Amino acid sequence: MSRTNEAMAGKTSLGEEIVSRINQLAAISETPDNITRIFLTAEHRAAADLILSWMREAGMSAHLDAIGNVCGRYEGERPGLPCLMLGSHYDTVRDAGRWDGPLGVITAISCVADLNKRGRRLPFAIEVAGFADEEGVRFASTLLGSRAVAGTFNERVLTSKDEAGVSMREALVQFGLDPEHIGAAARVRGELLAYIELHIEQGPVLEAQGLPVGVVTAIAGATRLAARVTGMAGHAGTVPMALRRDALAGAAEIISKIEELCLTDGRGLVGTVGYIHASPGATNVIPGQVHFTIDLRAPTDVHRNRALADISRQIDAIAKRRNLELRLDVTHENRTVPCAPWLKAQVEQAVSAEGYPVFELPSGAGHDGMAMVDIADVAMVFVRCRGGISHHPDEHVEVADADAGARVLLRLIENFRPNS
């Protein structure tokens, strides 16, 4: 039966079911008029319980693991087979959109429900992971859920505290979990055949291409730096222009240079200065010191590292010419995670079998696959979102695109062949 006939016969498409659940989950929030679902809060727990119920309804056994991940398992042709793991996260940023994270979890559950309805069992198990914390809003440490599953959770973060002074250890206990058992959430390589995540693109590329879905090539690595420019504070009226060592004017030229180098790169380099602070910060004082951040991403590590070296050299020259002192400290670095070629090829086949042109793009944003790659090969499917808007209440996915994503994922699951 064609899609149109199905709709006419009153059947709900996968997309419609997914959107209805996205809306149900979006209603579970810290405040009624926006979407905020932070790690280990009451609404986080309510969301977990709702997802667990959907998993059970879809024919999966389901439980909450020691970090708060929602874990569902649909057995294969016989119990105990290695699994294809699908997943994404169910926490949100503050004042979030409804699709970032939940779309991947809900779509995966809908695919399993569809198999279950047809009594279809595959030569492998399917597991769906709803990761508890990807965004890292509460404890300023990201990928907590997937790191626990990958066995790379750093126990030291248990002592980190949120804004209210509650430690992660205390919050886990309040949630009903045992922090001593986080190690038990870890899986090993042999249990997973692959990890596949469907996620909204969070950028405008698919929309510009007129395509509902895209095949991710890699999750771009990132380097974040703290920059400090030191000059000399002085009186805004008495120090002649030629004698000034204005840290803010210098920082402005440096920031423009970073933008220019990224703009002219042409190979996917992106750089952002998202924070700046000038001191002493008075109208009539020449700024003596400026702190700002740099976030640099590129599709490969080699590219990013080369770009970083080039940027450092060029902005250092600007500082020298202006008689300023520039200090750069790397505060965060994560490597690029390429999607496994064998797995990406299967994503491409599924996209093409559903009648869409195969379009490849890198992910500029970080995802749970960055942690999962330690125990499994990873691949990602991107779904178009309106205007590329994300981490914002206006984040939006059309029903037809949610449906396209689900059909691609379902076909991918049904045709999945482990790497031989």
Output the CA torsion sign for 341, 343, 348, 353: positive
Binding range to Zn ion, per CB under 5 A, among 101-109, 149-157, 237-245, 272-280: 101-109
Helices (H), 121-272: 144-150, 168-175, 205-209, 247-263
Spatial distance between the Cα atoms of 154 and 177, rounded to a whole number of angstroms: 17
Nearer to Zn ion, 13 or 336 (CB): 336
Binding to Zn ion (CB under 5 A) within 20-59 occurs at none
CB of 134 to Zn ion, least distance (A): 6
Nearer to Zn ion, 15 or 101 (CB): 101
State yes or no: residue 104 binds Zn ion (CB under 5 A).
no
Mask for 297-336, x = binds Zn ion (CB under 5 A): ----------------------------------------
Closest CA to 251 of 319, 346, 336, 350: 319
Nearer to Zn ion, 89 or 304 (CB): 89
- Per DSSP bridges, beta strands 125-131 and 70-74 are antiparallel
CB of 135 to Zn ion, least distance (A): 7
> 41: which 2 tokens?
């809060």
List CB contacts of 199: < 8 A, sequence separation 6 or more.
88, 100, 101, 103, 104, 363, 367, 380, 381, 382, 383
- Per DSSP bridges, beta strands 360-363 and 192-200 are unpaired
Strand stretches in 231-324, DSSP E: 234-235, 270-272, 276-279, 285-286, 289-298
Nearer to Zn ion, 100 or 114 (CB): 100
Nearer to Zn ion, 143 or 247 (CB): 143
Spatial distance between the Cα atoms of 22 and 409, rounded to a whole number of angstroms: 17
Supply the angle between the helices 247-263 and 301-321 in degrees, to the nearest 10: 150
CB of 351 to Zn ion, least distance (A): 21
Closest CA to 194 of 109, 107, 82, 88: 82
The residue within the footprint of Zn ion, chosen from 100, 197, 354, 401 (CB under 5 A), is: 100
CB of 89 to Zn ion, least distance (A): 6
State yes or no: residue 101 binds Zn ion (CB under 5 A).
yes
First to last CA, the chain: 35
CB of 340 to Zn ion, least distance (A): 20
State yes or no: residue 403 binds Zn ion (CB under 5 A).
no
Nearer to Zn ion, 101 or 145 (CB): 101
State yes or no: residue 130 binds Zn ion (CB under 5 A).
no
- Per DSSP bridges, beta strands 325-334 and 285-286 are unpaired
Contact footprint for Zn ion (CB under 5 A): 100-101
